[in-house]
Amino acid sequence: MRYFIEIAYKGKNYHGWQIQPDAITVQEVLEKTMTTILRKEIKVTGAGRTDAGVHAKQLFAHFDFEEIKELRELRFKLNSLLPKDISVQDIFRVKEDAHTRFNALEREYEYKITFKKDPFSEDFAHLIHYIPNIDLMNNAAKELLNYKDFQCFSRTNTEVKTYNCKIEKAFWKNENSQLVFTISADRFLRNMVRAIVGTLLDVGFEKTSLEDFHEIIKSKNRSKAGTSAPAKGLYLTKVLYSENIKY
């Protein structure tokens, strides 16, 4: 039987989601904890990967196991044993062929920027000392919806079959004294959101014009785009699925 597990985590103490040979990751901690409780080796498959230091308010993974009658009890046990910076939000049974990665319809990220030194947001937002032109940044962000090939924002030496992504929305807004960038798409390339944020900040500080922004995307060259924004400001906030995946 197949189950989806919904989790949230702070990324500061982890080298991303995906298991690494020489660094602690969220996937490794989750699998070890599930294996301990279910007394059988458990392997989970995530909806995607987050880089070191990136946070997730919602990420799904799936695993196969025999019938679990008390899913709420399992969630309680997992949350009791998992470290404080990883939380299980839900566990539910799905159809046998449901896949957290391939069946995801849309993924949404947020990037948070703060303009003042704040010890309570130190690990969860990118501090900058000057306010950029948000209108210019939103004008450029809107143009992302007119493109599909985003190789210029992808980490180099990434093995993917295509650099095409369908961006559904991309915008900035002031929210509780922070500048928040929201972007959603059917898929994202490695480092894509942080590279977009860094490039849009260049637009906001008038280092890069809107015309330059178009040329950067058309170039398909990562070196033409801006510096990637720090990982600590990035959050995976939502992964959407069709209701018919549930059992």
As annotated, the active-site residues are: 51
How far is 83 from 163, CA to CA, in rounded Å? Answer: 36
CA distance 245 to 111: 29
Q: Looking at residue 149, what DSSP letter applies?
A: B
Sequence-ordered alpha helix ranges (H) in the chain? 26-38, 71-81, 134-143, 192-204, 210-219
Rounded CA-CA distance 17/12 in Å is 11
- Type and span of the H or E element at 239: strand 234-240
Question: Residue 8 phi/psi, 5° resolution?
Answer: -135, 150
The residue whose two tokens read 């025999």 is 66
- Please name every residue paired with 55 in a beta bridge, in sequence order, or none if there are none: 235
Q: Where are the alpha helices (DSSP H) in 144-191?
A: none
CA angle, residues 219, 223, 229, in degrees to nearest 5: 115
What CA–CA distance (Å, rounded) separates 62 from 77? Answer: 18
First to last CA, the chain: 10
